[in-house]
């Protein structure tokens, strides 16, 4: 899943590369495009009157069918994106229509990645993202990847920079290898 829904998003391409690598390593992956799951900005009054948005409930179901999450997020002013924060906020809420449904984040293992045109490649945004996910019970693997100068590292839809691909493969490997007690 990527933290950007921009059509030509580099992070979308990075997340799609993770899907490819997971499959190459014999794993099963589902590509989640957040453009397919629009949600209103979280508002407690809205939640109290209408419950979870349908798209949040749909995404919760998809998350619960998976053990791991590979994320690629742009960095906006040193942080991960508001789109990602809003999505995580909604998904972290209980679904009043499914009283016995487990919470989605404390069964997950996550691997983090980022890319930007800058020299740090979005690295700063991964720090608060790691803090957030760890705080809601997700096991975030230590290995991560930030790809600087994105405009030189992709050709078309493909991450072509070998060093970045190898490091992304290491993140994917760590997620696939990580077992957590549910």
Site residues, ligand FMN (CB under 6 A): 4, 6, 9-11, 74-78, 116-118, 120, 122, 150
Task: Tell me the pairing of strands 158-159 and 154-155.
Answer: antiparallel
Around Cβ 156, how many Cβ atoms within 10 Å? 6
Looking at the Cβ atoms of 60 and 115, the one nearer to ligand FMN is 115
Angle, vertex CA 66, rays to CA 150 and CA 131, nearest 5: 55
Looking at the Cβ atoms of 70 and 109, the one nearer to ligand FMN is 70
CB 67 within 8 A of CB 13: no
Residue 3: CB minimum distance to ligand FMN, A = 7
Looking at the Cβ atoms of 88 and 109, the one nearer to ligand FMN is 88
Residue 89: CB minimum distance to ligand FMN, A = 19
Looking at the Cβ atoms of 36 and 54, the one nearer to ligand FMN is 36
Q: To which H or E segment does residue 107 belong?
A: none
Residue 37: CB minimum distance to ligand FMN, A = 17
Q: Is 68 helix (H, G, I), strand (E, B) or coil?
A: strand
């Amino acid at each position: 899943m990527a933290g950007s829904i921009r059509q030509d998003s580099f992070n979308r391409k990075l997340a799609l590369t993770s899907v490819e690598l997971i499959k190459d390593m014999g794993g099963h992956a589902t590509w989640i495009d957040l453009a397919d799951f629009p949600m209103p900005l979280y508002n407690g009054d809205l939640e109290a009157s209408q419950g979870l948005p349908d798209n949040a409930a749909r995404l919760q179901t998809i998350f619960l069918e998976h053990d791991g999450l590979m994320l690629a997020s742009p960095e906006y002013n040193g942080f991960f994106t508001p789109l990602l924060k809003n999505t995580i906020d909604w998904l972290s809420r209980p679904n009043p229509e499914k009283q016995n449904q487990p919470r989605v984040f404390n069964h997950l293992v996550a691997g983090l990645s980022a890319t930007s045109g800058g020299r740090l490649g979005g690295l700063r945004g991964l720090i608060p993202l790691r803090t957030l996910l760890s705080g809601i019970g997700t096991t975030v693997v230590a290995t991560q990847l930030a790809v600087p100068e994105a405009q030189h590292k992709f050709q078309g839809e493909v991450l072509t920079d070998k060093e970045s691909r190898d490091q992304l493969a290491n993140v994917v490997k760590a997620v696939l290898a990580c077992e957590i007690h549910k």
